[in-house]
Chains A and B, each alone.
Chain A
Amino acid sequence: AQTVTQSQPEMSVQEAETVTLSCTYDTSESDYYLFWYKQPPSRQMILVIRQEAYKQQNATENRFSVNFQKAAKSFSLKISDSQLGDAAMYFCAYRSTRGNNNDMRFGAGTRLTVKP
């Protein structure tokens, strides 16, 4: 089964600075989808960004961008110009496209603190 690893339980960043959250995954498949979700203190899970494995171009959404390295099975999230509202738990997730195992698999999460 595919596994998702977030090796940074906690990260902190100064307001207006840039921070990168790491995610690696294990799979033998060539086609799949990757997601980053944000969970603020309200507990609500919010989609930040998604990447399709067959697309070489890295996805971007405003201040959020990813560095997708398919060969290295790495999917890091870069947050530019960090804001206080970015403070949250961030989860990396993987979804297969094959067979019956299409459910999302989540990493353990990274808690991001933003310092004013």
Chain B
Amino acid sequence: NAGVTQTPKFQVLKTGQSMTLQCAQDMNHEYMSWYRQDPGMGLRLIHYSVGAGITDQGEVPNGYNVSRSTTEDFPLRLLSAAPSQTSVYFCASSYSRQGPYEQYFGPGTRLTVT
């Protein structure tokens, strides 16, 4: 199993550009999520999905879109990049949103918006 994969690992964007961060998992997990990690703030939830075709907003959803057309893939779209979106982004998956199940994390994408 590859686990959770993310691409790209690094990205530099100019303000106003759009892009998609890719995330895939091969564990047949129902629950997938996107976090951003900023210094001193831990991980904050952007969007999540409890299954194909079902997505919802997390704590900091503004400026981001998601879709989940398959169980495996959960891309994150930045609509019009802003310097405030400079961060490290993690995709994670879990057997279920509920219960003691751990979340498995991808390796992260470091995004810089200039």
Contact = CB atoms under 8 A, between A and B. Distances in A.
B90 A106 contact: no
Contact of A91 (B33, B43, B102, B107): B43
Contact residues on B (Cβ < 8 Å of other chain), bracket: 20 to 34
- Helix, strand, loop or mixed for chain A's interface? loop
Contacts of A9: 40
Given A45-B90, A103-B97, A35 B102 contact: yes
Nearest to A4: B42
Contacts of A43: 88, 107-108
A52 interface: yes
Please provide the 8 A-B residue pairs with the shortest distance between their CB atoms, ordered closest to farther: A45-B105, A106-B42, A106-B43, A47-B102, A43-B108, A102-B97, A108-B42, A102-B98
Interface of A: 4, 6, 9, 33, 35, 42-45, 47, 50, 52, 91, 97, 102-104, 106-109
Given A43-B107, A47-B103, A102-B97, 4 more contacts: A4-B42, A45-B90, A97-B99, A104-B103
